[in-house]
Chain A
Amino acid sequence: EVQLVQSGAEVKKPGESLKISCKGSGYSFTSYWIGWVRQMPGKGLEWMGIIYPGDSDTRYSPSFQGQVTISADKSISTAYLQWSSLKASDTAMYYCASSPLTGAFDIWGQGTMVTVSS
C-alpha cells in the first residue's frame, strides 16, 4: 500500500526544539517530491516547502524560509520538518504529502498536531 505515516502529536514549550517525521512506503521514496503543509486551527492550508529525497534539493515558501528546516533520510524513506525554537504561533496541524500516483501531491500523511504552550 502506498502511504505516508507521520509521527505522533507533540506538546512543547516556547523556545524548545522539535523534529517531526514522515515515512513513505509502497513506492520509490527517492523519486517524488515531498511537501510539508501547515494548517493552523480553523484556518486554511499553507505550503511550507518541498524536498526531493533523491538529491535533497529543498525549496522553501518565502513565509517559512529561515523559520523551519526540511530534510530527508533516503536510507529510511523518511522526511523531516524541524524547528530550533518553537513559538506559540507554531501551534498547528502539519501534513506531509507526495506525488507517486498522478504526479500531483496525491498521497498525504495523517497529520501531526503540534501544540506550543507555556
Chain B
Amino acid sequence: SYELTQPPSVSVSPGQTARITCSGDALPKKYAYWYQQKSGQAPVLVIYEDSKRPSGIPERFSGSSSGTMATLTISGAQVEDEADYYCYSTDSSGNHLVFGGGTKLTVL
C-alpha cells in the first residue's frame, strides 16, 4: 500500500524557520495537503494543493513540492505553532487517501 514518510520530530527556537518534509512516490503527480493538530483538537488545514493557504491561516505558513517531496515551511515559528503536523495525498490511482505518520513540532 502507498505510504507517505515524515520525520517524527522537528525542533526549532522561536523565530527560526521550521521545515517539515513529506515524501511519497506519487507526489510528482498528486497534490500534497498539510494539517496542524494541537493536543485534544481536531486537525486544521494549513496548506492545500501543495502551496495554497486557506483563509485565516497566517502567512508564515507556506508549502512547496518538488519531485517526490513536499515541504511545509513555517517562517518565524512561534510557540503557538507547537503541534503535530500531518501531510496527506492520494496514491497514483487517486482512489486512496493516505496520511503521513505525522511530525511533532517543538518550538522552544
Contacts and interface: CB of A to CB of B under 8 A. Distances in A.
Q: Chain B at the A interface: mostly helix, strand, loop or mixed?
A: strand
Contacts of A97: 43
B83 interface: no
A106 B45 contact: yes
B49 A104 contact: yes
A105 B88 CA distance: 10
Given A47-B88, A62-B1, A105 B101 contact: no
Interface stretch (A13-21, A68-76, A77-85, A108-116): A108-116
Q: Chain A at the B interface: mostly helix, strand, loop or mixed?
A: loop
Nearest to B37: A45
Given A45-B86, A62-B1, A108 B42 contact: yes
Interface residues on B, range: 20 to 34
Interface in B13-30: none
22 contacts: A35-B97, A37-B43, A37-B99, A44-B86, A44-B99, A44-B101, A45-B43, A46-B99, A50-B97, A59-B96, A61-B96, A61-B97, A95-B43, A102-B48, A102-B54, A104-B45, A104-B54, A105-B45, A106-B45, A106-B48, A108-B44, A109-B42
